[in-house]
Amino acid sequence: MTSDYRTMWRELNLDLNAHDALLNVLGQGYQDVFMNQRNRPEGMKYFDFVMSEVHGLRIRELLDVKKANRKIIGSFCVFVPEELVRAVDASLVGLCTGADFAMEKVEQYLPSSTCALIKSAFGFKLGKVCPYIESVDMIVGENTCDGKKKSYELLGALVPNLYVMDLPQVKSLKGRELLQCEYMRFKAKLEELTGTTIGVDNLKKGIGIVNKKRAAVQRLAKLRKAVPAPISGLDALLTNQVFFYDDPQRFSDSVNKICDELEQRIEQGLGVTPPDAPRILLSGCPMAVPNWKLPALIEQAGAVIVGEESCVGERGSRHLTDDSGNTLAELMEAIVERYFQIDCAIFTPNQDRLEHIRDMAREYKADGVIHYGLQFCQPYQIEARTVEESLKEDSIPVLLIETDYSMEDAGQLSTRINAFLEVLEQ
Ligand code: BJ8
C-alpha cells in the first residue's frame, strides 16, 4: 500500500496504527489460507489483487465516485435491494463484519452474548479501521434478527447517516405488503439523497447490472457440481465475498473469465482435489471477509466445499429479478417478488430453506452438510436442529458447528471435522 493511501486513510479519520495492525493480520491470514492452496484457477489472480487493494484502490475508486457527485450506500444484509441503488447511479458496498476488533470498546455498548457479526460491525467503527463505513453517504440497517434490530438503536448514535429498513418475519400477504411499503420508502429515500427520480429506464438498467453479477456467480456455482470439483470452496467463497465490494461490471467479467477456465478444466477432468475427496455443503450464517476459519479447516482436512447455503453464497444470489415489466409498478413488484423469496432464518416458519438445503445437497452431490451457526445467533442456531432433522430424512449426514471469529476453538473444530469426514468416508 502506498503512502498515498495513508493520506486517504488519515482524511477518513482512521486510526492509522490500528489500521496497519489490521492490514498485517489480514495480509498474513490471506497468505496462509489462500496462497498455499494448490491448482488454483489463473483467474483467481484478479481476486488476489482485489483483496490486496481492498482498503486501498477500491476505496480510492469509491471516493472518486463521490467526487463525481454520486453516492455510496453501505449495507449489512442482502435484503437491501441493490437494483434501486444502481437505478440512482449510486454504489452499494457491504460493510465490514467478518473479524473481531476493539472488543473492549464494543462490550461497552453490546452484551458479550451478542453474535460476532454484530460485534464486528461495532468493532470496525469504534476501532476506526473500516474505510468503507467512513466513506459511505448512507448506512442501511435492517430489522432482521433481534440482535441487529436493537443494535441499530445504538449504532445510530455512532454514525450520522443510519437509515433503518423494517422487514417482515412471516411470508404472509401482510409480510409481503410490509416489504413492498419498505422498498417504496427506500426508493423515496434514495431519490431524496441523490436528486434522481427512479423511473422505468433507470430501474431496468439497475436490474440489468445486478442480474448480470448474480448470473455470473450462478454460473460459477453450477460448475462446482462437477466431479472432481474444479475450484476450491475457499476460492468460490472469496468470489462471493468480493461480490459485495467490487465494481459490478468488472466483477461479472472476472467471474465469467474464471468460469471459462473451469469449463476447460471440467472437460479435461481436472479438479482441485482428487475425485474421491469428500464433498461438503456449508449451510448457515453468512461469512464476511475475512471470516475464513471454518472453510479453511474443512479444506485443510482434505474435503472440498462444493456450495454455500448462505447469504454470502446461494441464498443471496440464487434468484434474478424479472426485468420484463413495462411500468414502474411492475418493476417494483418484480423486486419485491425476488427478495421475498430469500429464506433467512429470521422468517417463521422457514420451510423453503429446509427444502433448498436438501435440493442443494442433492444437486451438488454433497456427501455431507456442515451447518455453521455463529455463537449467540438464535435464528440459525435454533433452526440448525430442524435442518438436521430434515436432512436425516434424506439420509444426509450433518455436522452442527457453533463458533465465533476467534481461533481459540480451531483445534477442537479440526478434531470434529476430521471425525465427520471419517464417517463420510465409511
Ligand atoms: S438475510 S442471514 S444477511 S439478516 S449471524 S446478525 S442473523 S444473530 S446476518 Fe443476515 Fe440478512 Fe438474514 Fe442474510 Fe443476526 Fe445471526 Fe448475527 Fe446474523
Q: Are residues 243 and 160 in the same domain?
A: no
Pocket lining: 312 vs ligand 1, CB cutoff 6 Å: no
State the residue range of the domain holding 279: 205-320+344-425
Pocket lining: 353 vs ligand 1, CB cutoff 6 Å: no
CA of 166 to the centre of ligand 1 (A): 14
Burial of 59 (0-12, 13-18, 19+ CB in 10 A): buried
Q: What is the pLDDT of residue 4?
A: 80
Pocket lining: 147 vs ligand 1, CB cutoff 6 Å: yes
The pLDDT tens digits for 352-364 are 999 999 999 999 9
In ligand 1, the atom with minimum distance to the C-alpha of 346 is 12
Q: Are residues 94 and 34 in the same domain?
A: yes
Averaged pLDDT, 20-24: 96
Q: Are residues 88 and 144 in the same domain?
A: yes
Distance CA 362, CA 317 (A): 19
Pocket lining: 78 vs ligand 1, CB cutoff 6 Å: yes
CA of 375 to the centre of ligand 1 (A): 12
Averaged pLDDT, 290-309: 98
336 belongs to a structural domain: no
**Measured CA angle at 108 (ends 103, 114), to 5 deg:** 65
Q: Are residues 290 and 418 in the same domain?
A: yes
For a mutational test of ligand 1's pocket, the pick from 310, 311, 353, 376, i.e. the residue with the most ligand atoms closer than 8 A to its C-beta, is 311
Q: Are residues 68 and 153 in the same domain?
A: yes
Q: Are residues 166 and 218 in the same domain?
A: no
Burial of 252 (0-12, 13-18, 19+ CB in 10 A): buried
In ligand 1, the atom with minimum distance to the C-alpha of 144 is 4
Q: What is the pLDDT of residue 426?
A: 85
Domain ends where: 120, 144, 170?
Answer: 170
Per the CB < 8 A criterion, the answer to whether 13 and 134 are in contact is yes
| CATH (domain of 402) | 3.40.50.11900
Q: Are residues 156 and 82 in the same domain?
A: yes
Domain ends where: 122, 143, 170?
Answer: 170
CA of 2 to the centre of ligand 1 (A): 35
Per the CB < 8 A criterion, the answer to whether 274 and 391 are in contact is no
Our count of domains for the chain comes to 2
The pLDDT tens digits for 72-101 are 999 999 999 999 999 999 999 999 999 999
The pLDDT tens digits for 310-366 are 999 999 999 999 999 999 999 999 999 999 999 999 999 999 999 999 999 999 999
In ligand 1, the atom with minimum distance to the C-alpha of 145 is 14
The pLDDT tens digits for 224-238 are 999 999 999 999 999
197 belongs to a structural domain: no
Domain ends where: 120, 148, 170?
Answer: 170
CA of 382 to the centre of ligand 1 (A): 13
Per the CB < 8 A criterion, the answer to whether 56 and 5 are in contact is yes
Pocket lining: 303 vs ligand 1, CB cutoff 6 Å: no
Cα 275 to chain center, whole Å?
28
Per the CB < 8 A criterion, the answer to whether 254 and 280 are in contact is no
CA of 143 to the centre of ligand 1 (A): 10
- Taking CA atoms only, the protein residue closest to ligand 1 atom 3 is 77
Q: Are residues 106 and 56 in the same domain?
A: yes
Residues shown for the chain: 426
Of all residues in the chain, what percent carry a pLDDT higher than 90? 99
192 belongs to a structural domain: no
- Taking CA atoms only, the protein residue closest to ligand 1 atom 8 is 377
- Taking CA atoms only, the protein residue closest to ligand 1 atom 15 is 377
The pLDDT tens digits for 136-194 are 999 999 999 999 999 999 999 999 999 999 999 999 999 999 999 999 999 999 999 99
Q: Does residue 239 register a pLDDT over 60?
A: yes
Q: Are residues 408 and 287 in the same domain?
A: yes
339 belongs to a structural domain: no
Distance CA 372, CA 305 (A): 13
CA of 264 to the centre of ligand 1 (A): 36
Closest of 37, 52, 82 to residue 242, by C-alpha: 52
381 belongs to a structural domain: yes
Q: Are residues 22 and 161 in the same domain?
A: yes
| CATH (domain of 107) | 3.40.50.11890
The pLDDT tens digits for 275-293 are 999 999 999 999 999 999 9
The pLDDT tens digits for 371-400 are 999 999 999 999 999 999 999 999 999 999
Q: Are residues 386 and 238 in the same domain?
A: yes
Contacts of 21 (CB under 8 A, 6+ apart): none
183 belongs to a structural domain: no
Q: What is the pLDDT of residue 140?
A: 98
**What distance separates the 2 farthest-apart alpha carbons in the chain?**
62
For a mutational test of ligand 1's pocket, the pick from 312, 344, 378, i.e. the residue with the most ligand atoms closer than 8 A to its C-beta, is 344
In ligand 1, the atom with minimum distance to the C-alpha of 116 is 16
Q: Are residues 165 and 214 in the same domain?
A: no
CA of 316 to the centre of ligand 1 (A): 12
- Taking CA atoms only, the protein residue closest to ligand 1 atom 10 is 77
How many CA atoms are closer than 13 Å to the CA of 399, on its beta-carbon side?
23
Pocket lining: 144 vs ligand 1, CB cutoff 6 Å: yes
- Taking CA atoms only, the protein residue closest to ligand 1 atom 11 is 77
22 belongs to a structural domain: yes
139 belongs to a structural domain: yes
